[in-house]
Structures are given as structure tokens and as C-alpha cells.
Amino acid sequence: MGNNWMTSEGLDLNLELFNTAKPHTIDVSWGNLSGEFISYSSKTKRIQFRVKMTPALFSILEKAPKEAKIITAEEDYTITWQAYNYSVSNVAETATITVEEKSQ
């Protein structure tokens, strides 16, 4: 059965409400990980992003490079660290990863 809409005479439906385009998200690429951007702080070079949980996540994290990219429709912004710390938190089927410049 298809989608049928019945209205009173003279009543128009704005069907664009049902076909709204998803806004373009900002992506993050860090080594072999790609995810959805959450936040960035230039003061501590702290980036936070969400990825799908994978069994090899911690092995991938241990081999991650000293740079990440924030990818938008207009540009790719590269963050580099001399040394970094990272943390991971798990929410359902995703992991939130935070990477920041290591304190001296």
C-alpha cells in the first residue's frame, strides 16, 4: 500500500516537510578512524568525535598518527600534536574519542 494523503478541498500539504535534506555533518579522520565531529578546542588542541564501536578499536588507537583532519564541505583542517593523550567512552554502539596535546 502506498502513501495516500487525503485533505479537504483547498487544503494544501507542504510535502517538503517529509523530504527534508539532512544537514551536512562535519567529519573527522584520524589514521584509520573516521567519525562524526563533536567539538574542538584550539587551546589544548583537543578534538572530540564519535565513531562506530569496533572490536579492534584499541589496536587502531595505539597506532594512530600525530595528526587528525576536521573535514567540512569547504575545507580540511589539520590538527597536529607533538605528543597526545586520548580517552574513549562508550555509548551504545558508538565510542566517543577525545584526543588532546599531552601536558608537559
Residue-wise pLDDT for 37-90, tens only, equals 999 999 999 999 999 998 899 999 999 999 999 999 899 999 999 999 999 998
Calpha distance 32→57 (Å, rounded): 10
The whole-number pLDDT of residue 92 equals 83
Confidence label for 21 from pLDDT (cuts 50, 70 and 90): low
Is 90 exceeded by the pLDDT of residue 10?
Answer: no
Calpha distance 22→59 (Å, rounded): 33
